[in-house]
Structure 1
Amino acid sequence: MTDPPYNPTTTPVMDSKANKFGHLDIWGFILKFVEVLLSFVAFVLEEVVATCNSCGVLYFFEFVSCTAFLFTLLLFILLASPLHKKVGIGSWDRLDFGYTLLISLLFILASILFLADNSGSDLETGAGVFGLISALVFLANVAYLLLKRRDKIFKTTDKTPSTPPAQVTNPEEEKLRNGENA
């Protein structure tokens, strides 16, 4: 039997290299997911603390853990989906690196301060330990970004071209610029 006269003109193309995790690869996806999970646990444990000796330290830890959870969740959603293409950010790798480094340093500081100055309850200790573990995962992500995407993070763009672009002018535009009548 012969082929039918009208074969379908479009066939689905399956790209084996298509990334199922948006801008992230599998390890970046896992690290971001674990960051979200651990920062959420640290935040919830801190929220359950009923009394505090030094409330300023508790509030600082609360701010850092809540910020880490919410912003990392937002970044995770953007980077793991096609939404990152719709937002006008030029370098997601640079943004991810800077944000992750900043949050890891803040988490280390907040956790150390919180562990050093609390009433010694198991909840406070657990929250501080989860904060330190979160900070270590954030630092692991920083190291991973440095190893895998260093060229994109520290990419410098030279604003001055080595040769001037060729001027292509339209004769009609040239007349308008010179004030000549057509």
Structure 2
Amino acid sequence: MATTEVYSTTTVSNPKTSWCMVPSTHLDKIRFLVKIGEVLLSFVAFILEEVVNSCISCGSLYFFEFVSCTAFLFTLLLLILLSTRLHTKVGIDCWPKLDVIYTGGIAVLFLLSSIVFAADNSGTTPEKTAVAFGFLATVAFILDLILHIKSKGLPWTKDGKQESSNGGPAPAEQERLRTQE
């Protein structure tokens, strides 16, 4: 007597039910890992800056604190939104533009704050280490920006070409007009 399985494998996992959607249309695996690196590096830079217990000129310290904290919190938020379905609930349609502008802006701010903090600090070990992590975070944000542009191009262009803005018909419409002639 041959035995047959009562329960066969009839269920297939549904990828739409998973909470993390990497790779997705907005975030591939490499950029996901880079964004995790950005979050961690900016968090470490922020914590190291918080360890500094005295400063001669505190303006540069406060600027670095603001940038590292902002980078940590908003990059974490962006990472959560882009790697889950939450980005569909927010009501923003231009995620690639937001990602490029945000990442580029934070890269510039992190570079500026790291330079200013490196030039104007007391020379203590926590300050030097915070500056080092600030520069590492800057490199991570620049790498993320480069990877985004290399993989998808600039979000305000199509196929690497500038979109038509002279009021003429769109390229798809021009093609349709040619076929009707």
TM range (shorter): 0.7 to 0.9
| Corresponding residue number in structure 1 for 2:41 | 38
The answer to whether the Cα contact below 8 Å between 2:34 and 2:144 also exists between their aligned partners in 1 is yes
| Corresponding residue number in structure 2 for 1:93 | 96
Bigger Cα Rg: 1
The answer to whether the Cα contact below 8 Å between 2:21 and 2:85 also exists between their aligned partners in 1 is no
Q: Tell me the CA shift for residue 98 of structure 1.
A: 0.4
Amino acid at match of 2:83: A
- Distance in 2, matches of 1:63 and 1:151, equals 28
- Distance in 1, matches of 2:164 and 2:141, equals 28
Amino acid at match of 1:136: V
Correspondence for 1:118 among 116, 121, 142: 121
Q: How many residues align?
A: 152
| Corresponding residue number in structure 1 for 2:68 | 65
Give 5+ residue unaligned stretches, structure 1.
Answer: 1-9, 164-182
Q: Tell me the CA shift for residue 92 of structure 1.
A: 0.8
Give 5+ residue unaligned stretches, structure 2.
Answer: 1-9, 174-181
**Paired residues for 1:131-142 under 5 Å:** 131-142=134-145
Amino acid at match of 2:88: K
Amino acid at match of 1:45: L
Q: TM-score, normalised by structure 1?
A: 0.75
Percent of residue pairs identical:
49
The answer to whether the Cα contact below 8 Å between 1:97 and 1:153 also exists between their aligned partners in 2 is no
Alignment pair present for 1:20 and 2:21: yes
For the residue of structure 1 that corresponds to 2:56, the secondary structure is coil
Distance 1:132 1:157, change over 3 A: same
C-alpha RMSD over aligned residues: 2.5
Distance 1:133 1:14, change over 3 A: same
